Amino acid sequence: MNAFRMTPDRSLDRVFLRTCAIYRLLKVGWIGQGEALEMQNRKWRKGGAPRGYLSDTIRIWKDGPLRGMRP
């Protein structure tokens, strides 16, 4: 069984992986909200998501469950 989420054409879902990575870094406190917003817009190796696709989600994370966390 593959532990990673796949797209319908059986390739790795890079949008999902980037979303998980940004959440993890925010939760651990290694990056702040500004760095997370910048990280979502970094260049993708292949294809990718539209710019700003995660902005609202990052704001919700920082206003909700990650409110008391560092940076």
Look at residue 62 in the predicted model and tell me its pLDDT. 77
Running along the chain, 71 residues long, what does each successive block of 10 average in pLDDT?
Answer: 64 79 88 87 71 81 69 51
Look at residue 56 in the predicted model and tell me its pLDDT. 82
Answer whether residue 71 is part of any domain.
no
Instruction: Report the C-alpha gap between 35 and 53 in whole angstroms.
Output: 15
Look at residue 5 in the predicted model and tell me its pLDDT. 66
Answer whether residue 42 is part of any domain.
yes
Answer whether residue 28 is part of any domain.
yes
Range of the domain at 35: 14-63
Answer whether residue 4 is part of any domain.
no
Do residues 29 and 71 touch, judged by C-beta distance below 8 A?
yes
Answer whether residue 49 is part of any domain.
yes
